[in-house]
Amino acid sequence: MIRCIVYSRTSTADQESGLETQIDDVSAKIYQAGDREIVAVIKDEDIPGDSDPEYREGFKKVLEMAEKDEFDELWSQSRDRLSRDVDVLGYIRILLKKRDIPIVCLDDEDNKAFARIKDLFGEMELEKYREKRYKGMLRRIKSEKVMSRPPFGYTVSEEGGLMIDESKRGLIRRLFGEFDNPYGSLKTLSIKYNIPVSTLRNIRSNAIYRTGEVRWAGKIAYFVEPVVPEDKDRRLNLE
């Protein structure tokens, strides 16, 4: 499990709600990233007229925790939250870089993996990484291997491809039967089967369950066995 700390900052003491919004936004992204836990939330305030990191209690706490190897990633809403002064941002980035601790910010143009590479090696290495990742994805598509986390109800075979998780086949078939009920609701199904509404919404909209389509970049990459094969002769009953 990757240990994360959330760093938030506001310029005045009366902006507590702004801090909490930052923390909520960053925390949500951390949990969405998966395999991560939040070990600390650090709130900081600017010292009027002084941006020296030694006068920021939050930075002191970050560095103390880094010295004790108490976290693996630092997350913040934006680079601006870390500092309005480029020199201060560079200061803390260098210290964390020495300990191989990446800084992840929600306003980065690229995802956290890209952002880390960009920080450590620069734009040229970032482009090489993108090209390498793209070619790797094409190879996986050609060999029909898993490209990301399997959708609910599927698992990874010994060969690295997608296969139906037999323990969930019956549940998914039952769910699709309930999806067809015009008087049903996802909230009701969520309570009934103890599955988040967001997961149910993804199941209902993902073509893989009915047609076996595995998509990448908005197009069909390859096909796998569908859980609920679509009957092409079946039409919506309007009566």
Co-location of 79 and 152 in the same domain: no
Residue 118 domain-assigned? no
Q: Is residue 125 part of a domain?
A: no
103/185 same-domain check: no
Per-residue pLDDT of the chain (239 residues; tens, 9 = 90+): 889 999 887 765 445 566 788 888 888 888 877 788 999 998 876 655 445 555 667 878 888 888 888 999 988 887 766 654 444 456 677 778 778 888 888 776 445 555 555 555 555 566 776 777 778 788 888 888 887 788 999 998 888 889 999 999 999 999 998 988 878 889 999 999 998 888 999 999 999 999 999 988 778 999 999 999 876 555 555 55
Q: Is residue 210 part of a domain?
A: yes
pLDDT of residue 164: 94
Q: Is residue 137 part of a domain?
A: no
Task: Report yes or no on 229 lying in a domain.
Answer: no
Same domain, 72 and 161: no
Total domains in the fold of the chain: 2
Domain that holds residue 49: 2-107
For residues 93 and 13, state if they share a domain.
yes
Give the CATH number of the domain where residue 76 resides. 3.40.50.1390
Task: Flag whether the pTM goes above 0.85.
Answer: no
Alpha carbon distance 143, 49 (integer Å): 59
64, part of any domain: yes
Clarify whether residues 6 and 100 are in a common domain. Answer: yes
| pLDDT value, residue 14 | 45
Q: Are residues 95 and 180 in the same domain?
A: no
- Cβ 126 vs Cβ 110: under 8 Å: yes
Instruction: Give the chain as a 3 state SS string.
Output: CEEEEEEEEECCCCCHHHHHHHHHHHHHHHHHHCCEEEEEEEEEECECCECCHHHCHHHHHHHHHHHCCCCCEEEECCHHHHCCCHHHHHHHHHHHHHCCCCEEECCCCCCHHHHHHHHHHCHHHHHHHHHHHHHHHHHHHHCCCCCCCCCCCEEECCCCCEEECHHHHHHHHHHHHHHCCCCCCHHHHHHHHCCCHHHHHHHHHCCHHHHCEEEECCEEEEECCCCCCCCCCCCCCCC
